[in-house]
Amino acid sequence: MAIPIIINPAANSTKAAAQMERIRQLQPAPEIHVTEGVGNARDIAARLAAEGRPIVVAAGGDGTVNEVVNGLASHHLTLADASKHTALGILPVGTMNVMAYEMGLPGRNLEACWEVIQSGTTREIDLWQANDQYFAQLAGVGFDAEIVQQTPWEMKRRFGPLSYVMTAARILGQEAPVLSVEIEGRPPLFGSVVLLGNGRHYGGPVRVFRDASNTDGLLDVLILHQRRPLEAFQFLAALVATGYQECNDIDYLQVKSLKVTSEQVVPYELDGELGQNTPVEIKLAPFKLKVRTGV
């Protein structure tokens, strides 16, 4: 039986036609499912998992991957036997492909990625639940969610990843929210930005969460006390140059669960896909996620 690929035709749409043709030419030939709108990838993935497909492939960016993960998770909740869970495969053709970096996939070489899907290693990684949604790689409350929320599709289509940088520069001039991070066994922590990592990568190839492991049952958390332009620039420059280092303006923790609240309306994002608004409670999902990887 052919391996099903769920394609988001809007992902990286400036090259969408060429990417679609490359995917159709893969050998052995895949079974193509093209999404028709937001949430459709989740529905298709849940249906394919219910059919007992051993692998379902997400072809798009991190947002498409997140939809497919949530579709698989919705079906896996109904299964008592984890050995029957459907594995996730990834063809990274979107604007941002952070999870593909984490899984050791060979970049945008779709033919090589297809080979990994055919014969690579299946790993089980931690899956995290944020209220009633799931994420596999990263999440953020505040700043990065505002970037996702305020970057229009037309801008992403025209400028690609640079569009997020442009939006970030504008948001840094706005008043930051006050976030309260509640962790069992310790007093609340306060900050303006909360970044969460199941893996080391965040926003691209930069390893933001230096100690992260997606199999240790712990979520790596960065709490930035301020998000003024100077602090943000220094933080990003340090990450690119040497990796994160402790300082008075940042808390770095590893936790099993947490809750983020605010007196303001603050959005959160999951794997680069806009979620809902605070409060958000984050904990381990009751099962692992199977992923076909190159490492």
Q: 141 CB contacts (<8 Å, ≥6 apart)?
A: 179, 193, 194, 196, 260, 266, 267, 268, 278, 280
For residues 65 and 99, state if they share a domain: yes
pLDDT in tens, 248-275: 678 889 999 999 999 999 999 999 888 9
For residues 87 and 162, state if they share a domain: no
Q: Output the CA torsion sign for 63, 67, 70, 72.
A: negative
Residue at which a domain ends, from 76, 103, 126: 126
Band (pLDDT 50/70/90 cuts) for residue 133 is very high
For residues 8 and 100, state if they share a domain: yes
For residues 111 and 220, state if they share a domain: no
Question: What are the Cα distances from residue 6, in Å, to 9, 107, 150, 245?
Answer: 10, 18, 26, 39
Number of domains in the chain: 2
Cα–Cα distance, 290 to 55 (Å, whole number):
9
Task: Give pLDDT, residue 178.
Answer: 93
Residue pair 269/139 in contact (Cβ under 8 Å)? The answer is yes
Cα–Cα distance, 57 to 31 (Å, whole number):
10
pLDDT in tens, 45-61: 999 999 999 999 999 98
Cα–Cα distance, 17 to 33 (Å, whole number):
15
293 closest CA partner among 227, 214, 238, 226: 214
Cα–Cα distance, 93 to 76 (Å, whole number):
26
For residues 142 and 257, state if they share a domain: yes
Task: Give pLDDT, residue 230.
Answer: 54
For residue 95, pLDDT over 80 is answered with no
Residue where the block lists tokens 């990684």:
125
Residue pair 155/163 in contact (Cβ under 8 Å)? The answer is yes
For residues 101 and 148, state if they share a domain: no
> In this structure, is residue 132 part of a structural domain?
no
> In this structure, is residue 291 part of a structural domain?
no
- 3-class secondary structure, 133: strand
Residue pair 60/93 in contact (Cβ under 8 Å)? The answer is yes
- 3-class secondary structure, 222: strand
For residue 198, pLDDT over 90 is answered with yes
pLDDT in tens, 153-187: 778 778 877 777 787 777 776 778 899 999 999 99
Longest dimension (CA), the chain: 56
- 3-class secondary structure, 145: helix
Amino acid identity for residue 192 in this structure = S
Task: Give pLDDT, residue 20.
Answer: 86
Range with the largest mean pLDDT of 105-119, 152-166, 241-255? 105-119
Mean pLDDT across the chain: 88
Range of the domain at 109: 4-126
Residue at which a domain ends, from 67, 100, 126: 126
